[in-house]
Amino acid sequence: MSKRPQRRNISCLGPSDISDEDILKAMKEIEGYLDITPGDAKDIYRLAYRHAIERLTHLVKAGSVMTKAVVSVKRDTPLEEVAELMAGHGISGVPVVNRCPSNK
């Protein structure tokens, strides 16, 4: 049995997700000599965070974040029913199709 890749929400990065390379790239974007102040540290963190996001998004494949069993709705499905369907499946959106194989 093959192990499924772990899903990772890249919007929930922590300090351990930011690499030394991300920090160095961020520091290169700040002009002049760095006499680190809280504001400077915040700027470095913000820039390093952006670099980490860019780096990690290149590693994530669509299949690792998307579901194989697509939940869809017909264009005439009432919004209340769509909202209940999304809440029940823990999803934030559904494709709207002419034919709906998952919800006949």
Residues whose CB is less than 8 angstroms from the CB of residue 32 and which lie 6 or more positions away in sequence, other chains included:
none
Q: Return the pLDDT at 5.
A: 47
CA 83 to centroid of chain Cα atoms: 22
pLDDT tens for 66-101 read 777 889 999 999 999 999 999 999 888 999 998 655
Residues whose CB is less than 8 angstroms from the CB of residue 43 and which lie 6 or more positions away in sequence, other chains included:
26, 30
Q: What is the CA radius of gyration of the chain?
A: 21
* pTM across the whole model: 0.41
Contact 49, 77 (CB under 8 A): no
